Amino acid sequence: MTYCVGMVLQRGLVFMSDTRTNAGLDNISTFKKMKTWSVPGDRIFTALSAGNLGTTQSVISLLDERTKSSADREPALLSAPSMFQAARLVADTLREVIARQRPAGQTADSTFNATMIFGGQIAGSDPKLFLIYPEGNFIEASADTPFFQIGEIKYGRPILVRAFKEDMAFEEAIRLLLVSFDSTMKANLTVGAPLDYLCVERDTMRIAASGRFEGDDPALQTISRIWGDALQQALDGLPGVDLRSV
């Protein structure tokens, strides 16, 4: 499994992804699930992926090749005229890779499925964030739904639902995401550190900050510990409930 989140803030876009992949329970590896393409100042795109690693790596490689070879007859991500067209290119590539596996004898196509978060900005238009389904269709984030999660989304969702604010600073957003990821990692073995993050400031078409929190990163461990203590205090501070004795 996997856990990835993309957010649209007033200040720009924020992405975070874990790095654990597993084929069965005894074959666990670390792979980066975040990929960025950019022409600084003109456009920047980031993709997060969850699902079959063969599928998502193929999608990224295909998009990458199409990015590098300008002679390629396929439309290139870096020349897409709009974020919508860029998202359509990613979605078509995802659907194409999944479809290519079908004739190989595997009837349960869900095995090859993958879901992606794709976001970025092209100079002259607003930052956009999309959730791309394995079927190749996608939805766009809006003020009502300003973040997308993929993978093992449920454990870390309540805190996002409650604490997301679109006027957060990047640092606050990353802190919120660390709490959401920490809650997920505490409850589920298939999501694991290191955690990659990326912040794109609005209208700069440049990476504002990016990096990785290792599992033993003091910042991550401190946040996990202080958050645990704070939750306990918050529980202790709740008003009593009257139980109906029988």
Task: State the residues that interact with a second copy by CB under 8 A.
Answer: 152, 154-159, 161-163, 170-172, 174-176, 178-179, 183-184, 186-188, 197, 199, 206-211, 219, 222-223, 226-228, 230-235, 237-246
Residue with Cβ nearer a second copy (81 or 228):
228
How many C-beta atoms surround the C-beta of residue 11 within 10 A?
A: 19
Q: How far is the CB of 224 from a second copy (least distance, A)?
A: 10
Residue with Cβ nearer a second copy (27 or 233):
233
Residue with Cβ nearer a second copy (98 or 191):
191
Cis peptide leading into residue 239 (ω within 30°): no
Any idea which residue has 């989304």 for tokens? Answer: 153
Residue with Cβ nearer a second copy (62 or 159):
159
Q: How far is the CB of 188 from a second copy (least distance, A)?
A: 8
Q: Apex CA 106: angle with CA 102 and CA 111, to 5°?
A: 90
For 79-226, list the strands marked E by DSSP.
114-122, 128-132, 138-140, 147-151, 195-201, 206-213
Q: How far is the CB of 176 from a second copy (least distance, A)?
A: 6
Residue with Cβ nearer a second copy (104 or 243):
243
Q: How far is the CB of 65 from a second copy (least distance, A)?
A: 25
Q: How far is the CB of 14 from a second copy (least distance, A)?
A: 10
Q: How far apart are CA 53 and CA 113, in angstroms?
A: 9
Q: Is residue 58 a contact partner of residue 95, using CB atoms and an 8 Å limit?
A: no
For 3-156, list the strands marked E by DSSP.
3-9, 12-17, 20-22, 28-30, 34-39, 43-51, 114-122, 128-132, 138-140, 147-151
Residue with Cβ nearer a second copy (81 or 158):
158
- The candidate with the shortest Cα–Cα distance to 149, out of 191, 111, 112, is 191
Q: How far is the CB of 206 from a second copy (least distance, A)?
A: 8
Longest CA pairwise span in the chain (Å): 79
Q: How far apart are CA 131 and CA 110, in angstroms?
A: 18
Residue with Cβ nearer a second copy (70 or 167):
167
Q: How far is the CB of 190 from a second copy (least distance, A)?
A: 12
